[in-house]
Amino acid sequence: MGFLHLFASHVVFLFLSSSLVFLHGAAADQEEALRTYIVQLHPLGSTGGGDATSSDHDWHLAFLIKSVPSSAEQDDKRQWKPSSRLLYSYHTVFDGFAARLSVGEAAALRALQGVASVREDRRVELHTTYSYRFLGLNVCPTGAWARARYGRGVVVGVLDTGVWPESPSFDDRGMPPVPDRWRGVCETGERFNATNCNRKLVGARFYSKGHRANYPTDPSDAAARTREYASPRDAHGHGTHTASTAAGAAVAGASVLGAGAGEARGVAPGAHVAAYKVCWFNGCFSSDILAGMDDAVRDGVDVLSLSLGGFPIPLFEDSIAIGSFRATVRGVSVVSAAGNNGPEPSSVANEAPWMLTVGAATLDRRFPAYVRLGNGRVLYGESMYPGKVDLKNGGKALELFYAAGGSREAMYCMKGSLSAADVAGKMVVCDRGITGRADKGQAVKEAGGAVMVLANSEINRQEDSVDVHVLPATLVGYQEAVELKKYISSTPRPVARIAFGGTRIGRARAPAVALFSARGPSVTSPSVLKPDVIAPGVNIIAAWPGSVGPSGLDGDARRSNFTVLSGTSMACPHVSGIAALVRSAHPSWSPAMVRSAIMTTADVTDRQGKPITDGDSGERADAFAMGAGHVNPALAVDPGLVYDIEPADYVTHLCTLGYTQREVFKITHSAVNCSELLHANPGFTLNYPSIAVAFKDGGGETSTVLRRTVTNVGAPNSTYTARVGAPVGVKVTVAPTTLAFAEFGEKKSFQVRVDASAAAGKDSAEGYLVWKQRSAGQGRRRTVRSPIAVTWPVE
């Protein structure tokens, strides 16, 4: 599952499977005492920590020399060379460096004057032919694409597993010249050189020092060498997939081995792409990510797309949050995946309020693959196996096998767990979980099985992420799995046949929040609602490397220019593409204005006009699942009003969270006195497009007042009227209730009072505030919507 997180999918296990970790014993022993640390420094020369006239690199080396005891030189002269210990010098989104140190050396470094923090490197995981049409994007002369010039002039930087430059999605025919301001490079390396870049793919770099320091590879291991490229070239597919989703070129006749056929386009097909390879088979390390962000901002990207992250941690310990703050200050819109740890509450990652955090939603496209049981019952399933449509006589009836009462490994169809005597020529039922979905199909095929039925567990419910399996296969929901297993256990010789129904569009309710999509409320910043929005993230078809089979498995010899993936990793680049469209239409807008436009125009109803549901539950999705709603690019390029935020406001917001001066400095690189700042800004609330109120435990609070300011980015002489849908048991009043703008760019402020004195016994409630334009002449009356979420401590 994308975000490359711990949600069962073949992509995840490309990174996490222990069979793909190659450690050279001697190298591991030599480096046993050393770990990678990220060192943050006070600004050069401000504390006497270094010579202000020296280069950053020399300055950083000076700290290493001071922190390593002289005995280290006697123990191992090779290890002691400062240049061999220094991995990265950061200049743009972070002041400091990454280095290999022992625990004692890290402690000594931490005590030096001029050092703000020393923290160990952290590994994080990586969190179409139709989705752009589902979003309402088309070639209409008055549509969003035309108004936003298809994203022309904007550079989208993608931090991921690299890029496959030969993909037709990165063809530059019809692309404008590379912007004059662009300072990026096409870094040469293994099977990658400067000619691989063009007017579409304008830059490519790779960062492996943090990864190699943690996973040194045996140089004699040919298999390990062939699994990765020491260059920006993508050996996995995840980065190619996300980059093409955000800004891929139009590709006619795209499909996955014939399935899901159509014209593939990125959300911003006119935008340029820059690839920063920071993730490898064993994950993504903060030291590499920071180096990629550092270069991307300096290169001149307009949008950073981050389909990676971990679990919620304090912002001052989160390298992605820290690096993205400086990127935001420099005018870069940072879009990130919310993570795949849903539906657990407070599982959302990438919570920083300066980032645009994206959850995943479904499309109304389905790939039916039915299981017809011997008793005549037909169970619905889904698959991208390129079979023919034939429900009545589809496929040959095969004997069913399920390892009920057998080993746990066999029930989950783990590699080597199935006996050929049991499964040869049969339709094998495999429980979902533990190993990747596609891996199970490979295990069945290796044991001689003819067909696989992948059975959802109770935790998976009816979730339907499909794969391009190596044998005929289908995925059935939990309800169907229960019926299937009951039939097998009650029948002397159970049989079934499978029939593939091709691609069906428009027959299912959508969008709905994906089951795996991470949920709020935010742990680190409860006064900011996260995720911000949801976007297509289930069964997304996009570009794929030519060296990897569409299943992502080593043994898959098939080749396809496209494949299907699911995850918030896939949702994130959709919004990155929308951000590129908004930036292209409004190049002077700040990242906060871009985010506001996307959030306040989001949909809260599905294509049938009914409330967006939470997965297949049928229940209305709440704000902690979908944020402001499902993105609508056609409206986002013309929002009417926006909520802007100055970088200094984020600093004040951090002070309201109770962060210390030292903790605020770690994030913002700014020395502040929170007491003075809060005294100068009494009652401060962040000017966020959504409204989140978190009443604190034991505080006795029942009401609060929030202040907001909107900027008119629509027509002059516009008037907006407030309409409130108050949360149940909560009174919400807005003053004033009318905002009249005489000019473009004019700002107006208002207050929102939230009174929850009558909401005893609740833990959360939600509503909304809408500013509705009274009249727009012949144009659209704009609606600017903000969700309202109120939480109380759980007793």
Which residues form the catalytic set?
160, 238, 569
Question: How far from chain centre, in Å, is Cα 48?
Answer: 40
Residue type at 783?
Answer: T
Of 362, 360, 296, 284, nearest in space to 334 by CA: 296
- C-alpha triplet 738, 530, 614: angle, nearest 5°: 95
Beta strands in 392-550 (DSSP E): 398-401, 427-431, 451-455, 473-476, 495-500, 504-505, 512-513, 533-536, 540-543
Torsion, Cα 5 6 8 14, to 10 degrees, reads 60
Rounded CA-CA distance 400/252 in Å is: 40
Cβ contacts of 84 within 8 Å, gap of 6 or more: 78, 100
Cβ contacts of 146 within 8 Å, gap of 6 or more: 139, 140
Helix (H, G, I), strand (E, B) or coil at 553: coil
Rounded CA-CA distance 238/542 in Å is: 10
Within 13 A of 457's CA, how many CA atoms are on the CB side?
Answer: 10
Rounded CA-CA distance 462/432 in Å is: 12
Rounded CA-CA distance 64/80 in Å is: 9
Rounded CA-CA distance 519/512 in Å is: 14
Q: Is 526 exposed, middle or buried (0-12, 13-18, 19+ CB in 10 A)?
A: buried
Rounded CA-CA distance 256/716 in Å is: 49
DSSP element (H, E) containing 146: helix 144-147
Residue 327: both structure tokens together: 């990127």
Rounded CA-CA distance 572/455 in Å is: 28
Cβ pair 602, 629 in contact under 8 A: yes
Sign of the four-CA dihedral 526, 528, 529, 531: negative
Residue 493: both structure tokens together: 């010789």
Torsion, Cα 564 569 575 579, to 10 degrees, reads -120
Residue 103: both structure tokens together: 């625990």
Rounded CA-CA distance 397/204 in Å is: 51
Rounded CA-CA distance 296/352 in Å is: 19
Cβ pair 163, 201 in contact under 8 A: yes
Cβ pair 341, 347 in contact under 8 A: yes
- C-alpha triplet 619, 625, 630: angle, nearest 5°: 90
Q: Where do we find the tokens 């991921």?
A: 160
Rounded CA-CA distance 11/544 in Å is: 12
Residue type at 278?
Answer: V
For the chain, state the CA radius of gyration: 27
Cβ pair 585, 566 in contact under 8 A: no
502: left (phi over 0), alpha (psi -120 to 50) or beta: left
Q: Where do we find the tokens 């390892």?
A: 403
